[in-house]
Amino acid sequence: MTKADLADKVYEKVGLARKEAVEMIETLFSSMKSILSEGESIKITGFGTFLVRKKSSRRGRNPKTGEEMEITARKVITFKPSLEFKAVVEKA
C-alpha cells in the first residue's frame, strides 16, 4: 500500500476531497518524521509504538568478501505493535 492508496482510503471513509486527504497524510508522515528525528517515540493507542534506538558500534563482516569491518554507531527506528493490533493481524 502506498501513501496515495492511504489517501484514497481516507477520501472514501471520511469524505474529504482527494487533495485534502493527500495533504492530511503528508502532514501526518511529516510530523512523525520530525518527532522521530528528534529522538522521541510515538505511541498510537491500539496500534503500536515507534521507537528510536541507539545501536553502538560493533565488529561485523562483509557478507560478500568475508572481510571483518567496524560497523559504526547509528540510530534505528523500531515498531512494537500493540496487543490489539497483533490480535487483529492474527485473525486475518
pLDDT tens column, 49-91 = 999 999 999 999 999 999 999 999 999 999 999 999 999 999 9
Specify the 3-state DSSP secondary structure of 12.
helix
pTM of the model: 0.79
Specify the 3-state DSSP secondary structure of 27.
helix
**b or e along 47-73 (b: 16 or more beta carbons within 10 Å of the residue's beta carbon)?**
ebebbbeeeeeeeeeeeeeeeeeeeee
